[in-house]
């Protein structure tokens, strides 16, 4: 089969070209139907790509074990291939397009021999939304097809839109031989194309996700005047029935899925607060006619971190996972149920590599083990996720894992200050990418691994939204991960994070005065709702205190980081940094004067 309609000529030509290069045994165009999905599952059960789970406790759910050397994104093998190296920026690995094509095409030659080549038309975003964008992924992995079916609007409707628009992002993927030495994830933003080989894992292989919806889309967004961000979108409904949508950027494995599915604590629940999930990982935002930023979730499912997902932390996710889910690299119990650290019930007998569980081998589930599940199965799924116009954003939140210094929450003074706060973001690294875990690194707007162009240009693009008529969201920074001297989290997090979102909404509505500090506005005493909160007043004081000396050091480190982007760094951001620096120095002097007076 091939696609019909003259505007699909380019697609047919590309599919033919790829087939000549990769030499598959057969070609299959995916229509996204239930029957097709069921057939794929059968094929994968037969081949061992999928393992059955307990059909009673987990209906139509399966386990996939990826190769032990292929369990996370690989940033050192991920390239942005722009003609000019400076356009990729110091934040990306770069290769010249011609060299990159030659290198990766050599690996694709004959790579699909004996395999089926699947052609997957997909749409990122509601199928009739002007904010949505289409792509086609060609892959030899049925696991990728099954995941793309859950994660995107995949199949006939997407193909029809591609035929109408004649425009799509081309993504070519093969698992190759899974040799890390022959693994590359290459992006050609000017060609709107992606080539990925040698990995079958998540963000390396499901090309609609990080490759298209962030790296390529961020590049398109800059040209077209919108934003493609690594953000969750959550709707908070107060007892009066008013809804505020908040978009939040936290680095990988730093709490996006959890915040998006937050369950209000008892007091909030009883008072009538509700939380609605629009998206858990990616957010595309465009200025509307009313000057506000309107956002869609380009994805249709969640590819979420399993460990730490338990009845006490994220019961919403657990409820979402009750049926029709794919689990990757989790452990299994004696009765065939999926298991991971932090689940809070059951015991593993088989670890993520299929070995009998032995604590000496490390955790039973891989720390970056994941679930794939349709967003519509989430009990807090927001029906407005399907709105073509998107949802209006009231607040943007940045945050990361900061064991010290960074307060629980502060608000930027204005948009430009907020852009600085986002650009300056730092976080301890996690298992979501290969490499050391727990090392502090700068991760501007949680986009370090995902921005498809030079960060300096990206900051300038962010700043450009501040223009007459714009009604921009307030910008906040949060830190759920402060630790005490014994290494324990000082803030309970999870459902209690609603207390912080509540304060933000009060700020947006002009109901909280806040307390101004050199780094921004923190909650004034008594403004955070502490009813039923299990945190001592002293700890709360510490969590909302601004350590001026510590921040002077922090701002110096931020300065060194931002200077690394050189000439292209926008003046406005440099000025903002100087302004915050002066405010901190002034606070130091005031303190010294007060002490000697």
Active site residues: 254
Q: Which of 503, 500, 480 is nearest to 491 (CA)?
A: 480
Residue 356 in tokens:
């009998």
What residues numbered 231-260 form the site for Mn ion, per CB under 5 A?
A: 252
Confirm or reject binding of residue 203 to ligand SPV (CB under 6 A). Answer: yes
In this complex, which beta carbon is closest to ligand SPV, that of residue 135 or of residue 407?
135
Q: Smallest gap, in angstroms, from Cβ of residue 367 to Mn ion?
A: 15
DSSP state of 217: H
Q: How many residues can be counted in the chain?
A: 597
Q: Which stretch in 3-11, 129-137, 201-209, 481-489 sits in contact with ligand SPV by CB under 6 A?
A: 201-209
- CA distance to 90, 121, 344, per residue, from 156 (Å): 40, 7, 41
Q: Which residues pair with 305 in a beta bridge?
A: 370
Candidate list 61, 193, 252, 444; residue touching ligand SPV; CB under 6 A = 252
Confirm or reject binding of residue 199 to Mn ion (CB under 5 A). Answer: no
In this complex, which beta carbon is closest to ligand GTP, that of residue 250 or of residue 551?
250
Q: Smallest gap, in angstroms, from Cβ of residue 501 to ligand GTP?
A: 12
Q: Which residues pair with 381 in a beta bridge?
A: 277
Rounded Cα distance between 300 and 149, Å, is 9
Rounded Cα distance between 194 and 70, Å, is 19
Residue 362 CB contacts under 8 Å (≥ 6 apart), including other chains: none
In this complex, which beta carbon is closest to Mn ion, that of residue 199 or of residue 252?
252
User: Could you tell me where the DSSP H helices lie in 81-138?
Assistant: 85-88, 97-108
- What SS3 state is found at 184? strand
Applying CB under 6 A, what is the total number of residues that bind ligand SPV?
9
> Rule CB under 6 A: which residues touch ligand GTP?
250, 252-258, 280-281, 304-305, 307-308, 313, 432, 480-481, 489, 493-494, 497
In this complex, which beta carbon is closest to Mn ion, that of residue 158 or of residue 283?
283
Q: Report the residue closest to Mn ion, judged by CB.
A: 281
Q: Which of 328, 337, 412, 400 is nearest to 371 (CA)?
A: 328
Q: Smallest gap, in angstroms, from Cβ of residue 71 to ligand SPV?
A: 10
Rounded Cα distance between 75 and 521, Å, is 35
In this complex, which beta carbon is closest to ligand SPV, that of residue 100 or of residue 254?
254
In this complex, which beta carbon is closest to Mn ion, that of residue 305 or of residue 555?
305
In this complex, which beta carbon is closest to ligand GTP, that of residue 285 or of residue 573?
285
- CA distance to 48, 53, 344, 479, per residue, from 321 (Å): 22, 13, 15, 27
Rounded Cα distance between 415 and 400, Å, is 20
Candidate list 168, 188, 284, 303; residue touching ligand SPV; CB under 6 A = 303
Residue 15 in tokens:
């599919």
Q: Smallest gap, in angstroms, from Cβ of residue 135 to ligand SPV?
A: 15
Confirm or reject binding of residue 202 to ligand SPV (CB under 6 A). Answer: yes
Q: Smallest gap, in angstroms, from Cβ of residue 231 to ligand GTP?
A: 10
Q: Which of 260, 367, 256, 396 is nearest to 308 (CA)?
A: 367
DSSP state of 357: P
Contact status, residue 131 vs residue 296, Cβ threshold 8 Å: yes
What residues numbered 18-77 form the site for ligand SPV, per CB under 6 A?
A: 73
Candidate list 140, 229, 281, 502; residue touching Mn ion; CB under 5 A = 281
Confirm or reject binding of residue 443 to ligand SPV (CB under 6 A). Answer: no
In this complex, which beta carbon is closest to ligand SPV, that of residue 434 or of residue 506?
434
Candidate list 281, 411, 554, 576; residue touching ligand SPV; CB under 6 A = 281
φ, ψ for residue 173, nearest 5 deg = -135, 140
Q: Smallest gap, in angstroms, from Cβ of residue 72 to ligand SPV?
A: 7
Q: Smallest gap, in angstroms, from Cβ of residue 340 to ligand SPV?
A: 15
Rounded Cα distance between 558 and 424, Å, is 6
Q: Which does 210 bind (CB under 5 to 8 A by kind): Mn ion, ligand GTP, ligand SPV, none?
A: ligand SPV
Candidate list 432, 475, 546, 587; residue touching ligand SPV; CB under 6 A = 432
Confirm or reject binding of residue 299 to Mn ion (CB under 5 A). Answer: no
Query: What order do you get walking across the sheet with 370-374 strand by strand?
Result: 51-52, 62-64, 326-328, 370-374, 301-305
Applying CB under 5 A, what is the total number of residues that bind Mn ion?
2
The residues that touch ligand SPV, with contacts defined as CB under 6 A, are 73, 202-203, 209-210, 252, 281, 303, 432
């Amino acid at each position: 089969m091939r696609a019909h309609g003259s505007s699909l000529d380019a697609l047919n030509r590309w599919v033919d070209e790829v087939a000549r290069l990769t030499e598959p045994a057969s070609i299959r165009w995916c229509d996204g139907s239930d029957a097709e999905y069921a057939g794929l599952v059968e094929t994968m059960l037969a081949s061992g790509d999928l393992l059955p789970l307990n059909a009673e406790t987990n209906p139509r759910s399966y386990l996939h074990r990826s190769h032990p050397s292929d369990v996370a994104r690989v940033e050192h093998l991920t390239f942005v291939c722009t003609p000019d190296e400076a356009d990729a920026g110091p934040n990306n690995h770069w290769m010249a397009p011609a060299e990159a094509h030659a290198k990766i095409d050599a690996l694709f030659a004959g790579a699909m021999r004996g395999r089926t080549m699947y052609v997957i038309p997909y749409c990122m975003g509601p199928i009739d939304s002007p904010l949505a964008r289409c792509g086609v992924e060609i892959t030899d992995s049925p696991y990728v097809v099954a995941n793309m079916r859950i994660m995107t609007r995949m199949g006939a409707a997407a193909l029809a839109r591609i035929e109408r628009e004649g425009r799509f992002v081309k993504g070519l993927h093969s698992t190759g031989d899974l040799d890390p030495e022959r693994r590359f994830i290459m992006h050609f933003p000017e060609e709107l194309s992606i080539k990925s080989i040698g990995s079958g894992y998540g963000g390396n292989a499901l090309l609609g996700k990080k490759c298209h919806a962030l790296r390529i889309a961020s590049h398109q967004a800059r040209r077209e005047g919108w934003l493609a961000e690594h953000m969750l979108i959550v709707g908070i409904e107060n007892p009066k029935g008013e809804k505020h949508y908040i978009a939040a950027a936290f680095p990988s494995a730093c709490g996006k899925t959890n915040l998006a599915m937050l369950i209000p604590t008892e007091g909030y629940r009883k008072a009538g607060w509700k939380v609605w999930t629009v998206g858990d990982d990616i957010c595309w935002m465009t200025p509307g006619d009313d000057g506000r930023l309107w956002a869609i979730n380009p994805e249709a499912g969640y590819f979420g971190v399993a460990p730490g997902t338990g009845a006490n932390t994220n019961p919403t996710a657990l409820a979402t996972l009750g049926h029709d889910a794919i689990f990757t690299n989790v452990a299994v119990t004696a009765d065939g149920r999926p298991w991971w650290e932090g689940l809070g019930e059951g015991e593993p007998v088989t670890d993520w590599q299929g070995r009998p569980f032995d604590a000496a081998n490390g955790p039973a589930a891989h720390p970056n083990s994941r679930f794939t599940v349709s967003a519509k199965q989430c009990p807090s799924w927001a029906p407005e996720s399907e709105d073509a116009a998107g949802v209006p954003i009231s607040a943007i939140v940045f945050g990361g894992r900061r064991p010290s210094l960074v307060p629980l929450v502060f608000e930027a003074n204005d948009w430009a200050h907020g852009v600085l706060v986002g650009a300056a973001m730092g976080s301890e690294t996690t298992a979501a990418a290969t490499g050391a875990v727990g090392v502090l690194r700068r991760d501007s707007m949680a986009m370090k691994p995902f921005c498809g162009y030079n960060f300096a240009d990206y900051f300038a693009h962010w700043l450009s939204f501040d223009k007459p008529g714009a009604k921009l969201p307030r910008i906040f920074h949060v830190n759920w991960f402060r630790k005490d001297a014994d290494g324990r989290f000082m803030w309970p997090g999870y459902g209690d994070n609603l207390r912080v979102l509540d304060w933000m909404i009060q700020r947006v509505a002009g109901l909280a005065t806040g307390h101004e500090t050199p780094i921004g506005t923190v909650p004034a005493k008594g403004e955070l709702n502490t009813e039923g909160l299990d945190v001592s007043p002293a700890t709360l004081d510490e969590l909302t205190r601004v350590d001026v000396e510590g921040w002077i050091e922090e701002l110096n480190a931020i300065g060194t980081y931002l200077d690394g982007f050189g000439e292209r760094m926008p003046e406005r951001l440099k000025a903002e940094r100087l302004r915050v620096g002066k405010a901190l120095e002034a606070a130091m002097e005031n303190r010294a004067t007060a002490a000697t007076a």
